[in-house]
Copies of this chain bind each other. A is one copy, B any other.
Amino acid sequence: MFSRRRFLRKAGVVGAALPVAGGLVAAACYNDPTGGPIDSSAVPTQNVKPGATQAPAATQAPADLWVKIDEDHKKGVVDFLRQQKAPITKGKGMQELAPRIENGVKVFDLTIDNVDWEVSPGLIEKARGYNNQIPGPTLRATVGDKVRINVKNNLEESSSVHWHGLLVPNAMDGVPYLTQDPIVPGGTFVYEFTIRNAGSHMYHSHHNSADQVNRGLLGAFIILPEDRSKYPQYDKEYILIMNDSLLGFTINGKGFPATDALIAKKGERVLIRWMNEGMMYHPMHLHGATMEVFQRDGYPVEPPYICDTIDVPPGNRFDCIIHANDAGLWAFHCHVLSHAEYEGGFFGLVTVLAVEDETFKVADLLATV
């Protein structure tokens, strides 16, 4: 049942006392003493039998094992909280890229780069990124804008860029040999078009794409409508891009515990723009709140529907509003559980919706880790 290899890698990890969030103390009063918090004094040490003079008997190993499992789980959560204070991995994707304006055209510059990407602490993969980021920089424009994207290929293989979801002239669609020649190593290509349709769109490689997209050549291209009055009101916005396979299970280029929490105040409306750029299905389950899904691929979902688990197939994008009505730390993870947890704790497609109220402040919690 247990992966010894992964386990041994983590051996020696001793859980510091877990910080207990202010709002969470209530749980303790339900705890029977037998099942109470693990603190280091209460945890049976390895040689607990009276008079034991030698190495633990084989039969004792399982007891050791569950304690280590729990310590690993705890360490992951503590690391995740530390991530919310300061990044625990190198490299941050999805930095907003402000265009420069040239003769009324919004101009973006993208490079296609080899990058060593730290997916989670210590796990560094040979990857590829636009502007050395995974996901690439987030681009934004409005319907009616003229945009130009200068793309420079720094790889040792060809590439191209497809503007996934945007209606563009065929010659700008980015499919090698159908609409353009690939951008050869060292080469460049200029994409230019007028923005026609709003939505949570994407851009990604369309050459050797099962490899290149999976290794990181993807990003968000958010198109705002000219008339924003019909788009729902929201207080906060998060873009969540799922990927899997070659770089492991990631949200916005990082696997738990290096994922970013979603933070909101009680009562706020939190917009999520979901994008699945992976090769698998990831039904994302939100604890303690619901999602109101109102847009798919930039087109209306009528009427909007409410759910607690949302399935965004590869290539689709869904916009939804979370109503953050209850304070606390709410797990938010893929319900294909093998994408989210193993015997060493949470990993991969896991984050948290942290909802603050007058009694629970994220800053207070983070001050304890």
Contact = CB atoms under 8 A, between A and B. Distances in A.
Interface of A: 1, 18, 23-27, 30-32, 34-38, 62-63, 65-66, 69-70, 73-74, 76-78, 153, 156-158, 162, 164-165, 167-173, 175-192, 206-211, 213-214, 245, 279-281, 283, 285, 287-290, 296-297, 299-303, 305-309, 311, 313-316, 326-331, 335-338, 340-343, 352
Which of A27, A31, A296 has most chain B Cβ within 10 Å? Answer: A27
A157 B26 CA distance: 24
Nearest to A176: B73
Number of copies: 3
A352 B177 CA distance: 12
A31 B76 CA distance: 48
Given A32-B187, A189-B32, A208-B69, A305 B296 contact: yes
B297 A35 contact: no
Contacts of A311: 313, 316
A170 B337 contact: no
17 contacts: A27-B172, A31-B180, A36-B187, A65-B157, A66-B156, A66-B184, A70-B184, A77-B178, A171-B328, A175-B287, A178-B329, A178-B352, A211-B343, A280-B336, A290-B297, A308-B315, A314-B335
A328 B73 contact: no
B305 A299 contact: yes
B182 A73 contact: yes
A210 B341 contact: yes
B192 A156 contact: no
A288 to B, nearest CB: 6
A305 B301 contact: yes
Contact of A209 (B36, B337, B352): B337
B32 A190 contact: yes
Contacts of A299: 290, 305-307
A164 B65 CA distance: 28
Given A181-B18, A337-B214, A171 B342 contact: no
Given A73-B207, A177-B18, A191 B305 contact: no
Contact of A24 (B171, B188, B307, B314): B171
A309 B77 CA distance: 36
B170 A330 contact: yes
Given A24-B171, A170-B329, A189 B30 contact: yes
Given A285-B315, A299-B307, A316-B309, A35 B183 contact: yes
Give the 10 A-B residue pairs with the shortest CB-CB distance, closest first. A35-B187, A170-B328, A315-B335, A27-B171, A309-B315, A299-B306, A77-B177, A283-B313, A210-B337, A66-B157
